Amino acid sequence: MSLPISRTKIASIIAVAFAGGILFASSMDWTDRLFAQGGAAPKPRQEEVKTLADASNAFVSISEHITPAVVSIQAERDARARTNRRSPQQQQVPPGFEEFFRQFENPQQQPRTQESSGSGFVVSRDGYILTNNHVVEGADRVSVAMQDRRVYDAKIIGRDPTTDVAVLKIDAKNLTAVTFGDDEKVRIGEWVLAIGNPLGLDFTVTAGIVSAKGRPLNNLQRTQYDISDFIQTDAAINPGNSGGPLVNARGEVVGINTAIASQTGFYAGYGFAIPITLAKQVMDDLIEHGEVRRAVIGVSIGEVTPEDAAVAGLKTIAGVKVQAYSGDDSPALKAGIEPGDVLTRIDGKAVDRVGQMQRIVRARKPGDVVEVEAMRYGTRKTFSVKLAAAPKEATVVAEAPAAPASTLTPVSSRLGISVEPVSAEMVQAVRLPEQYRGVRVAEIEPGSPAEERLFVGDVIVQVLPKREKVSTPAELQAALRNVKAGDYVSLLVYRPVRNGGGTTAVVNLRAAADR
């Protein structure tokens, strides 16, 4: 027979059990976890707060120091003068500016003037300003607004499309000027600020890190002499930022914000800046001489591929490959450099990529003599090259007309190409020189070694290094008869250009297994 239990006894039992549970949980260190879940989050340590506050104060200090030297640029273009201007496709303007230039395509629907905006920064107390060439290119009038709302008419001192740098001058004194840094010392991962006037939002500051250095942007290149060696950053850059400064954590300008990687024309995570040492060299030339005095070795060059490194006998994939001479008066030709050579050192400095070589040569003047080291099919060579002045214009590659499809001849399935004889129509259309009348590349098999290395319209002239001349598809087949999977094939190729002439290139391929 069970005994009845009063409510008072039940309450007492529950209380005792609860107290016992608390004591047990406390002994097991469970109570801290239970109360932490329902209570306030723990405060950060004082040293952590101080570090974050110091970083924040540094950004504030840099912004206050640099922003007075940043300017907003307005460029006006008279619509009536635009009938013979190039289209946006021909100008190849940076992403985000296509819509502005597209307005010029229908003069009947245009207002009398068109305006574009950008940024710049004061580099001297007497009013010199650095900006991008594409901000003021073709402008009939340029005005500059300061942070304190003063507005000045600006004179374009000079422009350089190959580096996208322009110099302006305003009539003012005792201005706040920026301090230049050394972009060579910039490290990937360090903090930077981008300051400018994006999307009409004047004097905007954004922060990010340096994401990469030495970035090429081939879609912005107009000629083979354009220097493409950008600092990449994830600091937000939008249309209107162009020409503004990229600033390091010491408040020094290390680059000119120039372009963005985006399919929409607006910020998508990556921006690009011209290194300030390059921009300063161009600025000094424009101010002192009214033009850029650019020295060249006289060759077209390309990045080194694994195949190029193997053929040259290099242990690392570095340097730049010589593709062709700029002309019969090329300094490289006179010095003995040949297409296919891989340049590894210039002027005592190691060369790892195209942009780096361009900047080394850009630091010298026409007439200077530089020592050049190169690898040629496993042999190290040294040359003394007297630099020449860069020509004013460069040619653009065009595709040559095809011969009838029935003439196609597959050549070595291990390379993945079909060729055809050079037709009389092609000779006439591109004024093909007799010494380059080899065989025309007609088809390239997808996924083959030749894909994106050779192009339809290329003319294969020689098989290197023996320099076996190729005049017919049969001769090319004979020269490649003994090629096995894994072998390297080196071809001298001629690429026709518009209005006659062309460029040569050395293309190194590694033969694949039979398909």
CATH number at residue 424: 2.30.42.10
Confidence of residue 291 (pLDDT cuts 50, 70, 90): confident
State whether 136 and 270 are in the same domain. Answer: yes
State whether 82 and 209 are in the same domain. Answer: yes
Does the active-site annotation cover 242? yes
Distance of CA 396 to the CA centre of its chain: 19
Q: Which of 72, 116, 134, 300 is catalytic?
A: 134
List pLDDT tens digits, range 399-454.
444 444 445 667 767 788 989 898 888 888 788 888 888 899 989 988 889 988 89
What's the CA dihedral at 296, 299, 304, 305 to 10 degrees?
150
What's the CA dihedral at 466, 441, 493, 394 to 10 degrees?
180
- The candidate with the shortest Cα–Cα distance to 129, out of 97, 172, 183, 65, is 172
Q: Which of 119, 228, 242, 448 is catalytic?
A: 242
pTM, 2 dp: 0.65
Structure tokens, 326:
């700029």
Q: Examine residue 153 and state whether it is found in any structural domain, yes or no.
A: yes
Q: Is 419 exposed, middle or buried (0-12, 13-18, 19+ CB in 10 A)?
A: buried
State whether 223 and 273 are in the same domain. Answer: yes
- The candidate with the shortest Cα–Cα distance to 73, out of 130, 161, 125, 142, is 142
Total number of domains in the chain? 3
Query: Does residue 42 register a pLDDT over 70?
Result: no
Q: Examine residue 35 and state whether it is found in any structural domain, yes or no.
A: no
The pLDDT of residue 398: 36
Query: Could you tell me the residue range of the domain that residue 334 belongs to?
Result: 295-389
List pLDDT tens digits, range 140-180.
999 999 999 999 999 999 999 888 999 999 999 999 999 99
Structure tokens, 332:
């490289």
User: How far is the C-alpha of 294 from the C-alpha of 292, rounded, in Å?
Assistant: 6
Among 345, 363, 389, which residue terminates a domain?
Answer: 389
Does the active-site annotation cover 119? no
State whether 143 and 206 are in the same domain. Answer: yes
The pLDDT of residue 425: 81
State whether 145 and 229 are in the same domain. Answer: yes
User: How far is the C-alpha of 186 from the C-alpha of 174, rounded, in Å?
Assistant: 30
| Cis-peptide into 465, omega within 30 deg | yes
State whether 220 and 358 are in the same domain. Answer: no
Q: Examine residue 143 and state whether it is found in any structural domain, yes or no.
A: yes
DSSP assignment of 445-477 equals: -TTSTTBTTB-TT-EEEEEETTTEE--SHHHHH
User: How far is the C-alpha of 315 from the C-alpha of 306, rounded, in Å?
Assistant: 10
Among 292, 320, 337, which residue terminates a domain?
Answer: 292
The dihedral of CA 414, 417, 420, 423: what is its sign? negative
CATH code for the domain of 262? 2.40.10.120
Structure tokens, 136:
């003021």
State whether 258 and 116 are in the same domain. Answer: yes
Can you tell me the mean pLDDT for 120-148?
95
Can you tell me the mean pLDDT for 92-118?
56
Confidence of residue 99 (pLDDT cuts 50, 70, 90): very low
Among 292, 317, 337, which residue terminates a domain?
Answer: 292
State whether 279 and 239 are in the same domain. Answer: yes
Residue 325's DSSP bridge partners are 299
Amino acid at 216: P
State whether 236 and 385 are in the same domain. Answer: no
State whether 81 and 135 are in the same domain. Answer: yes
Q: Which of 164, 183, 226, 229 is catalytic?
A: 164
DSSP letter at 7?
A: H
State whether 410 and 379 are in the same domain. Answer: no
User: How far is the C-alpha of 117 from the C-alpha of 75, rounded, in Å?
Assistant: 6
User: How far is the C-alpha of 281 from the C-alpha of 286, rounded, in Å?
Assistant: 9
State whether 125 and 212 are in the same domain. Answer: yes
